[in-house]
Amino acid sequence: MTSATHSQVVSAPGKVFLAGGYLVLDRAYTALVFGLDARIHVHIQSTSKKNNQIIVESPQFRDSRWVYDYSSAEEGVRVVENRTGSLVAGQSNNFVETALSYALNYVTSVQKDFQIQPASVTILADNDYYSQQAASNTSSTASTPRFAHFDTPIWKANKTGLGSSAALVTSLIGAILSFYMPSNDFSIHTDNGKRRLHNLAQAAHCAAQGKVGSGFDVASAVSGSCVYRRFSPSVVENLADASSKGFAESLRKVVEDEGVWDVEITKSKVSIPKGLRLVMCDVDCGSKTPGMVKQVLQWRKQNPQIANSIWDELQATNSRLAAELVSLSKAGSSNDYDKLRDIIQENRKLVRQMSKESNVPIEPEAQTKLLDACSQIKGVIGGVTPGAGGYDAVVLLIEDKAEVVESLRDMLKDYKFEVKDVETVGSGRVGLLRVREEMQGVKEERIEDYSEWIG
């Protein structure tokens, strides 16, 4: 038996598209994805209990405690929620349960005759993942704790769309592997460790959400900011079900088979120049993203010539955007952002064309007005509706100066965001999140920084 490390903390960042929404679904194209400094943090420690249980808690939320029983089975390790011990009013957490199952099955497939020790897990989210605390137009953060208490169950919390599920799955699996496996078998500090974590987190995330997505959010959670080309769906589609015989060994083979993973994650092609930064505006007016994606893909299928023409132009523009950011970074300090502004405007023009042709509100009129208003502020280079677009948020590239941020806050305090659309809900309030770009992906954290939250 291999003994577990006593305690471990692993965190993973959120994400935002600066370019490549929709294109990322097709391997012929790439996306420019930035990690965000809003992180999901997972602490795991051994317990003195002798039962075969892992207890998971999210103390920022009411009644958010899940208890999982684990046992050996013909599939490898069977993980089942113990509803008697959980405090969630019948609400399961599929992402946590699936991540636990996949991680434990992988650990036992690598370490033969390994006995899993009982453990307790604490999950903490930086405040910007949730609108209740995040959408603030005040500059003072003195009264806001690092991890705010939300007076609601976790499943009722209003998310800001920063990629919490991918960051959760990545940090939870990273913590479990780091906790139960010796560093010579697994380490998130090595390229090999990050590669295996990426592959395992992608498989678990797809299983938890019940579909094979593009995987850009997990890639960013593991690697941070990058230019991303998706993996072929068949990589995980052929993976055996978690309840089937021999699942653990099947999972290990998929995770460690470098030949089948045709994903491309390139960090050298992405950068934020010194003197610039990203900011995000959260709009309390949600969109039905899955429906929008489905409509755009259906439009592309029915109109391949015009759709592919727009996508090819967008790919070229997105590549120019990434290249210009890298070029400015290498040049050092610069105040010449005219080319960058032009590229962002060209990107928005093509996105609006796709919106019009597909009849899908990727950059709807209300967002056009918001982006144009923000772009008029001195120091704002430009912005886009990230990812699938819609009414949820905008991301802005601005000069990294306090006065620019304050000017944005002042403008947004009284901004009137009006949408006449039955497919959207919310007050239309626009708030400036406290997030910025994050180049680093998954990482280990100092345990002592979490003492207030760990029981």
Q: Which two tokens stand for residue 206?
A: 């797809």
Judged by DSSP in three states, 100 sits in: helix
pLDDT at 132 over 60: no
pLDDT of residue 139: 47
User: Are the C-beta atoms of residues 34 and 16 closer than 8 Å to each other?
Assistant: yes
Whether pTM > 0.85 for this model: the answer is yes
- Whole-number Cα distances in Å, 169 to 44, 203, 400: 14, 10, 31
Rounded to the nearest 10 degrees, the angle between the axes of helix 289-302 and helix 304-331 is 120
Using CA atoms in the order 166, 150, 48, 77, what is the torsion angle rounded to 10 degrees?
-30
Residue with tokens 């019940």: 210
As a whole number, the mean pLDDT across the chain is 90
Mean local confidence (pLDDT), 110-134: 86
How many other C-beta atoms are found inside a 10 Å radius of the C-beta of residue 451? 7
User: Are the C-beta atoms of residues 167 and 96 closer than 8 Å to each other?
Assistant: no
Mean local confidence (pLDDT), 222-242: 94
Rounded to the nearest 10 degrees, the angle between the axes of helix 338-358 and helix 304-331 is 160
Mean local confidence (pLDDT), 335-346: 95
CA-based nearest residue to 433, from 37, 154, 149, 148: 37
- Summarised one tens digit per residue, pLDDT across range 238-295 is 898 888 899 999 999 999 998 999 999 999 999 999 999 999 998 876 555 668 999 9
Find the angle CA(209)-CA(431)-CA(143) to the nearest 5 degrees. 100
Q: Is 113 exposed, middle or buried (0-12, 13-18, 19+ CB in 10 A)?
A: exposed
The percent of residues in the chain predicted with pLDDT above 90, rounded, is: 72
How many other C-beta atoms are found inside a 10 Å radius of the C-beta of residue 298? 12
Judged by DSSP in three states, 163 sits in: coil
pLDDT at 136 over 60: no
CA-based nearest residue to 10, from 167, 162, 198: 167
pLDDT at 5 over 50: no
Pairing of the two strands 119-125 and 53-57: parallel
Distance from C-alpha of 198 to C-alpha of 213, rounded to nearest angstrom? 14
pLDDT of residue 84: 78
Distance from C-alpha of 240 to C-alpha of 246, rounded to nearest angstrom? 8
pLDDT of residue 88: 60
| Higher local confidence (pLDDT), 202 or 152 | 202
Using CA atoms in the order 365, 369, 371, 375, what is the torsion angle rounded to 10 degrees?
150
Distance from C-alpha of 414 to C-alpha of 418, rounded to nearest angstrom? 12
- Summarised one tens digit per residue, pLDDT across range 413-428 is 988 887 765 455 555 7
Mean local confidence (pLDDT), 354-379: 95
Distance from C-alpha of 160 to C-alpha of 135, rounded to nearest angstrom? 9
Distance from C-alpha of 111 to C-alpha of 297, rounded to nearest angstrom? 43
Number of H helices and number of E strands within the chain? 12, 14
pLDDT at 134 over 50: no
pLDDT of residue 235: 95
**Of 81-95, 231-245, 328-342, 397-411, minimum mean pLDDT range:** 81-95
Q: Which two tokens stand for residue 86?
A: 């959980």
Dihedral sign, Cα of residue 309, residue 311, residue 314, residue 318: negative
Q: Which residues on neighbouring strands pair with residue 76, listed in sequence order?
A: 73
How many other C-beta atoms are found inside a 10 Å radius of the C-beta of residue 276? 21
pLDDT of residue 445: 97
pLDDT at 1 over 60: no
pLDDT of residue 303: 98
pLDDT at 161 over 80: yes
DSSP string covering 308-364 = HHHHHHHHHHHHHHHHHHHHHHHH-S----HHHHHHHHHHHHHHHHHHHHHT--SS-
